[in-house]
Structure 1
């Protein structure tokens, strides 16, 4: 079946400043915020059906006005990043605003059929002008496009600077934005800056083992020919998850669905990439460190408070050991993140020039299911799809678990995956054909 194609007519992009005057100041980011791996814009997409009760309302106008109100409270997002000595990033709170695009598409939601998941047809038409990683300074920190559809539904696509927020932080902003659209005058959770809490110590001292930042010589990255890379999404509902749980021994039955799915996808991906048995591979798990601080980081803290510790092993061990081996590695590595671990990462950033995480034969996994993107309601009810728009994007070996309801009404996890086309065929075979029936 040919992919869906449609035309999008976009207005000229316009800046949306905060609705009322905001402080003009320069605020340094934390040393967790401005690491190399976060110098990207992350694209998300929210898809909404027509609502009869909102028939008189223009979604673009409602969302734009609410954005302007939300930026009063989150005014640093209306500013611009600047780079100082030693590549230190600060946000210049200029009040210039977020970039906003209004658009119309000659297509209905029904025409999307089952493709309400990555890869989205014509996605570059639905979000136009995302800054490249090398262009993150002196440009907008938030890009928004509202595309009205012929059926009365609409698509809200946006990208935000990862240096400003992690998933928890941006979800907090998104909830405030939606609250404003529904008539609130202030956030239910007030934003907290406090980036000094995650600055490097003086003098910096790296106290933990950070295998996620090891320098590994660039050989074959295990990602194949970058020109031949394709994106597919895979849905796992309750029956598939139960089948995977059946692969682990009794002593690991307490493990989470995240541990199971991550281990299973990692193992199938490693087999599909046909790495040599002795090759070293690593998996990095994104962990929200907020509750691991004592006292916890303040409610409302919207900066980056993530760490992504790495489990390191060989391709042979992951593929040939019983499945429980990979599950145990993932379960154990999540526990490495403590308050001291995060301070040690901040110190490492200052000591080693804000280095990038290890990309060679690596997979980095983030669980977006708990953020409730589908529950974000701008007045049109729940989203049909809410979450990451392009899978790994800037780093193809990034994997997201997204909360999703399939065409049969089953709740489960959707996992977009980038792989070279031949490896993708092998991966799909490994994923489904080796699953216990």
Structure 2
């Protein structure tokens, strides 16, 4: 990359980061989740608006589809994935006591009923779903049906964790329950998605490959929750560990990269790796707290806004868009998810108020919903109209969840009435919430 190319790249990053921060701040002032503003910044800069109405300006910023534009696309892809890893790492480091014994029954009910019921209802209603209107001409019906089922039942880890962080409740039991459910749901998501993509690529399920993928994910997750934190604690406290004393921030970064590299070697999602890396350091936060906080501060100022801005940038509303498809799918998907998650919460013995808060929070589809849409669209399973529908559903449900939780906290009510950890977060004015 020449000096001139690098200079224009700095302009691109300036525009992306500044837009994401500005719109994120404005959304906070409007009592909306900051993350939605960051996604909207990408929509404004992307082909939906700037690329459609001012293509020359877009060409000047993003360098188009030529060799330079391809370099920038590669760099933005790297920053996108790095931002996602850092977001999940920060979430894992803040979620103290995830999957505590007292929460296992509640998480099990919420995850099993809240995920299984909408997914199975979609599968059972396949005769009434116009799959041909959602799919590409050659896509197997089963692949499309699996995608619809996943989209109706998934909960977002990245977006809901960002919302919980912005509301300063990521340390609470409510957050632990939501993220615990989301982690379990996403394990199921990747397993079913592997089946759906295998169907369209081979016209049949490669049972051995799918089974190995699922087992690897489960084993990695199990080790990451049990053995790895103990091993990491021993390594951190070892006398021969020079790096932890010479550069605590460097050591924390190395831990994140090591978890990610091991996950990649076993074909496990790096989202889980980053989350478990942060979770593994919880026992050493008294020692490494300043290092984790430094990494977190810089990540939420730069890389994480880039991640969400690129999510919005990749959304092209100028392509085929069906308002009726969006309204019908989002309405039915939200209804299924809210009723199922609410039922799971009631079976877990939460009262109606707590069940409502838990159901609305788990209805945020966010990142996994967008990833699902992208993978299915790139694999040729769904058409452009349904792709746009899935992405907008992910964004709108996340905004609704964030707005509801912010409203509850601002009104001075607890999110969980049964837990003393959920005492209301007093917010005097919007300035305090935005801080």
Quick check: TM above 0.5? no
More helix by proportion, 1 or 2? 2
Taking structure 2 as the reference length, the TM-score comes to 0.28
Taking structure 1 as the reference length, the TM-score comes to 0.28
More strand by proportion, 1 or 2? 1
Q: Does 1 or 2 have the higher relative contact order (CA < 8 Å, sep 6+)?
A: 2
